[in-house]
């Protein structure tokens, strides 16, 4: 049974802002670059505390990456954040050549991820960013599950990584259920629920849904293992292989296109090491749309019920 309790809903962007401020307090080399949406992405905490270390370059995301590269070459630790569709997609060329090719330590915060952005609609709902970022050499890709973990992940991205980092988070208030003392290690997933009948591997906002799905499955007589895959790259191959060999079935869950995202990353490990039956919960090769966040998650099949249904279908195909 899931023993993690929601401490109250909190936006993951707030966790990013808190982590950035905490890292900035510890290290004067940390600087922040904004793109006219400072508060929307949680950078306002840092900007208010360190106005001389905050640079607003306006709606010029490609230029922001170039400036971040220059600052990194001069010994600073630049953190740049804007909506994920702009942070990861509009700037892909600059990230590839200026940051990844030179292996520069710049942290990119991709905000407003997934359809839970809601009324902003398809143009502002980042659903392809994980795929785009994880194919780039030298790039570390993080997708924490709640506000508390986003704070810890942001600090880790700034203090533990040497090269470029893409850190994905959302806008809406979501269940905040992890402990600030819970171990967070880049590249190592977290076992949240033990089980041997199948495994649910989830990332980002879908981790909470995976926990609820495990409770639904328990009422059906199935013990689901739940893994929080907060690091998309480097992916935790050991945990995936163990889950495949011990449970024989894997469901992935992400608020992202199943093509190129978590589903693809996990499948690459499974097919090369321990092939088992899999099911993918996430965006099925479609754009989002404008609407209420909860209604959009339900419409596009990114709920606990959808995960549980996928798991039941998967298990029935094995018997």
Mean pLDDT confidence for 91-107? 98
Higher pLDDT, 179 or 187: 187
Angle between helix 12-26 and helix 147-159 axes, rounded to 10 deg: 30
Q: What structural domains and CATH numbers belong to the chain?
A: 9-175 (3.40.50.970), 190-318 (3.40.50.920)
DSSP bridge partners of 30 = 77
Nearest to 127 by CA among 255, 303, 265: 255
Tell me how far apart the 2 most distant CA atoms of the chain are, in Å. Answer: 63
pLDDT for the residue numbered 128:
97
Higher pLDDT, 270 or 181: 270
The two tokens of residue 143 are 């997708």
Is the preceding omega at residue 6 within 30 degrees of 0, hence cis? no
The rounded mean pLDDT for the chain is 95
For 3, list phi and psi in degrees, rounded to 5. -105, 5
């Amino acid at each position: 049974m899931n023993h993690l309790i929601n401490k109250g809903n909190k936006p993951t962007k707030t966790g990013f802002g808190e982590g950035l401020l905490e890292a900035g307090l510890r290290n004067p080399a940390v600087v922040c670059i904004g793109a006219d949406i400072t508060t929307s992405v949680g950078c306002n905490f840092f900007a208010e505390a360190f106005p001389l270390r905050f640079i607003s370059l306006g709606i010029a995301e490609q230029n922001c990456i170039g400036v971040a590269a220059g600052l990194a070459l001069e010994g600073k630790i630049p953190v740049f954040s804007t909506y994920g569709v702009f942070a990861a997609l509009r700037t892909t060329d600059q990230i590839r050549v200026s940051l990844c090719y030179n292996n520069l330590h710049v942290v990119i915060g991709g905000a407003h991820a997934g359809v839970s952005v809601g009324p902003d609609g398809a143009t502002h709902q980042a659903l392809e960013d994980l795929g785009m970022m994880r194919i780039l050499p030298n790039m570390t890709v993080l997708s924490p599950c709640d506000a508390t973990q986003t704070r810890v992940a942001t600090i880790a991205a700034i203090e533990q990584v040497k090269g470029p980092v893409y850190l994905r988070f959302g806008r809406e208030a979501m269940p905040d259920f992890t402990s600030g003392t819970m171990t967070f290690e880049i590249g190592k997933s977290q076992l949240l629920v033990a089980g041997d009948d199948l495994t649910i591997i989830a990332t980002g906002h879908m981790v909470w849904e995976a926990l609820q799905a495990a409770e639904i499955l328990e009422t059906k007589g199935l013990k689901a293992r739940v893994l929080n895959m907060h690091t998309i790259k480097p992916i935790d191959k050991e945990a995936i292989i163990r889950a495949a060999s011990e449970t024989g079935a894997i469901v992935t869950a992400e608020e992202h296109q199943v093509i190129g995202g978590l589903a693809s990353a996990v499948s690459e490990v499974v097919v090369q090491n321990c092939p088992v039956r899999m099911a993918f919960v996430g965006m099925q090769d479609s754009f989002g749309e404008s609407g209420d966040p909860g209604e959009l998650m339900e419409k596009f099949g990114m709920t606990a019920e959808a995960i549980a249904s996928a798991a039941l279908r998967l298990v029935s195909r094995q018997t």
